[in-house]
Chains A and B, each alone.
Chain A
């Protein structure tokens, strides 16, 4: 049986982004004001797992680290078709940066037992470092392909995937087990259906805290996070309109000068 873990993050609803605030003192997101939803790209990650489950005998675990409220998104994954949910929730995990998050998730994956495929979103919509997937791979000593936009071949333990690049793509061959971070091009996530929600009644969500993972408190959460967010500023983008006057040649010269002055050319 193909064992799949999908890492899913609860993020403040991006549709209510204008209400998201950052605490000026702790420099963390003030999450409580905005409802938590499943990170958009993690829906693609879930769909990738569900597509595999349609082809093969597969077992899907949805894994999330977050506050107790994050249980809602894990339940949603069960309703979408995951077989099992695990929520890593403990005060000790709070304040984690990408490194500590990946360490905690990797420890949980190791506890789950042998898995073949680990899917992550390419990025979260809030933190958006894009590091968590590769860092999980590194902690578990597994190969990783980021920005997967197509799974080309998955009949054996040698997968072929197409991954995006700034000006093209990479065609990669990977030996499972491996970590994949996915883009929205990979698939179109299916919507929740009522029967899925009913089926989720019978599925359980396991909650693991620091004792279940058996990790030292210094390795997780804020204490285990090497990142220091030293300063936070809000950026402002301003537009300005300049109308150039003169003959065509004069206008071209002025435009060129402006581009040089602003460092574009």
Chain B
């Protein structure tokens, strides 16, 4: 993984010194809350319902064991012994004291981590495929480009005061694990016919109260021109994005207003005039690429006897292997998904002890590599099949072996009314109720891939628009109600879900999901996922079933 050099370390030290001074000036009353707010936001510090929340950046979801242990230690020392992984692959601590924040960011800096630009109207933490470097599907390592973007976007002099927040994702595989089309910019690495590397550039995706799927403005951008092209997009947006209405300030509104062609034409014109000043020289790209050269993999048989024996002996392990292992590009290795969605737990939460278990496993069995996914799970990308049984046993002991990847209980949920000042309704407990209904793992497996996503308000942090089943908390005369949508997707077949019908009260939501699933099981034809069946039948049978039940 990328290691900070002295320049990166100096940069962080300067930033933490600046932040310490800003906090001191705030505590001394020299800065008003209005003046302080955008400064603390650019350092990841939010004011929530009960306390400050600190959002720590995990660039492109990549962590090493030392970093994860430090996060565990911070959770134990300054918070309540746990943290929350987010859909932006960040880690949030929800119970932080303002006066502790400068010390915490110093501790983070000691392991090359920070909370820079994890909120505020600036370029946010860049995300990438969590299987980078491990999947045979990729045509290049997206982390190389994500790291280039991380550096370029850090304290960018021109783009730190944008109309609104700005999110970029990089993927390099046909199967999109980054939700690229829901980003302000989604980048998809491709090779041209002559073998040259480039990006398909998608712009203007985004959720929130007006969901849009990103549109392609360039089919093939030569990879080495990436940063100058991003600069052109950002400049057009910085100049022309709306600043009069916070709800219309995202780039998606500008792209929709101008139309894809006109927006693309403006970007191309700006790019041509601006030249290549922002682009990295080959030497720097090579230096970054060097940080991601594959670890040395052993030459192993593709079938592991230890692994096969454990599978036959232990049904629970066999189930874990079926659901949580993904094929690795090297024979004899596997990608291991660690679910942070234990039945009844808060989606995305991990205790300090759990973080330490994962850090230990990564060190012993996983080439010191840990990933965070936008679906709020963790990944050990490089585990020998021979070691998977031992990894599983340790995970199981720590409550981390829930075999539910991509199943109905692998739910994305925002913090909702439990933490968030903007929420209309609870999201976490709705997720828990649904997970409990599908606690029987046989039934969950029978149902198969089903992505449930829950947001506590229209800001859509839980990505409900792109859930196969989306659930949105709304307020009806002071009571929590939930709007259900069906048929959304955040993957390469991205789509915004379609409303099911009138909103349902809190205690009817899990039941309604159950009914939707039963309807799917009744309607499905061979090999269809929930999403496929919905796309074939439309909303009618689902609607009928749910509202017949409710009334």
Same complex origin of A and B:
no
* Residues on B facing A (Cβ under 8 Å): none
* Residues on A facing B (Cβ under 8 Å): none
